[in-house]
Structure 1
Amino acid sequence: MNADTARGEVFGDALACEETRPAGFQPCASDPARLRAACLRSEGLLRALAVVEDSRGVEENEEYDPGTAALNRLEAKVDLLTALVARLARTQEPAEPIRALRWSALGVCVPGDTATAPGTTGIFRIQPSDWLPEALELPATVLASVTDGDGPQLWLRFGPLTPTLESALERHLFRVHRRAIAESRRPR
């Protein structure tokens, strides 16, 4: 598969965002239990991030209940704290390098450390927030590996993702896109 075909598979009609984040792909055998656990952790992380980030911009109106919003924020922060403590209890994994990437809820184009054969399965890891050093782990398959002057570019297709994880990922990328537009409109 070439880069143009992979681009259609990874982005298609989906909203795509360009970011510079700690990210990387780790090839590994397709273990359904491990992939399911990674999806559940990632879904919980995205849900908690959404509650924390969305509650920062809520305007007071007649439908807004400050008590419920505060409780949701507190619950989300406890979820994030629990995830961080669990991560610390696990063996220390090396941090992913910071890379410029383009991604959607379907997949990602990311610089790789080495060329990787199409069809290779593994886990794509990305730190979705600057303020939280926790990584999303998304199962992925290499669609294409294109080497140019800057090194290999990996085109990864996410999956299998649960419908709720795919939806949470779409919402996260929409918030990233919305922030990028707001940032570009700010006077300099």
Structure 2
Amino acid sequence: MTATPADSSSSGLVFAGRLPLAWHQLANLPDAIELQTLERSNLANLRTLFALEIHAGDSGDDPVALASANELKRLDFKVGVLLELVGQLYARQQAIPPERALTLTTTGLIWRDTEPLATDCALRLDLYCNLNYPRPLVLHARVTETVAFAGGWETRTRFQEPSESLQEALERYIFLQHRRAIAHSRRGDSR
């Protein structure tokens, strides 16, 4: 999983990694009221994911704060383990789609598959950002392009009118994944 500066076709960071993804072709995109309802649900989902990313902070040199921080870290770890176990149980109850290599931006999604999708077709995308909290982001998009490659097709989509707040939340999610990738690489370098 990596987050890198975007190419010239998009702005901001880009998440490139593997996440569970399902898509369904639609005859028409939902109306504005349904899109607003789904957007509120997506924003709540992303806020929960952001809350799961928060960890106990640095306490500095204060011994009392250090003891409190250590206790918070222990509690954070225990809650994290509990959420992971409950998430695994919940995921087993659902039909979680397979992970796919994909690229996520604030305006669209790109992935590869063996079958091409028609350009301009409407899609419902179910993107699972974290299996510890197995609720998908439900995004609607149109296929902007399909490109052949050895072994299949790359599908490029553009989200259906995401609001500024949803774009900001997606950008924050991508940035958090970028920070996580840097932290993992630094831990790997220090060993």
- Normalised by the size of structure 1, how large is the TM-score? 0.72
1:98 aligns with 2:99: yes
In structure 2, C-alpha distance between the alignment counterparts of 1:174 and 1:141, rounded to whole Å:
25
In structure 2, C-alpha distance between the alignment counterparts of 1:93 and 1:106, rounded to whole Å:
28
1:136 aligns with 2:137: yes
Give the structure 2 partner of residue 30 of structure 1.
29
List 4+ stretches of structure 1 deviating above 4 A: none
In structure 2, C-alpha distance between the alignment counterparts of 1:94 and 1:129, rounded to whole Å:
15
Give the unaligned 5+ runs of structure 2: 1-6, 61-67, 77-82
Higher RCO by CA contacts (8 Å cutoff, separation 6 or greater): 1
Letter in 2 for 1:44: A
Look up the SS of the partner of 2:13 in the other structure. Answer: coil
Q: Structure 2 matches for 1:1-188, cutoff 5 A?
A: 8-9=8-9, 12-28=10-26, 29-32=28-31, 33-54=33-54, 56-60=55-59, 94-112=95-113, 114-186=115-187, 187=189, 188=191
Look up the SS of the partner of 2:118 in the other structure. Answer: coil
Cα distance, 1:60–1:48 mapped onto 2, change above 3 Å: farther
Give the unaligned 5+ runs of structure 1: 1-6, 74-79
Letter in 2 for 1:46: L
Letter in 2 for 1:164: S
The count of aligned residue pairs is: 159
Q: CA deviation at 1:122?
A: 1.6
In structure 2, C-alpha distance between the alignment counterparts of 1:17 and 1:58, rounded to whole Å:
25
Cα distance, 1:115–1:93 mapped onto 2, change above 3 Å: farther
Cα root mean square deviation, aligned: 3.0
Q: CA deviation at 1:59?
A: 3.4
Identity %: 26
Preserved CA contact (<8 Å) 1:24 1:112: no
Query: Which structure has the larger Rg over C-alpha atoms?
Result: 2
Letter in 1 for 2:129: P
Q: CA deviation at 1:163?
A: 1.6
Look up the SS of the partner of 1:161 in the other structure. Answer: coil
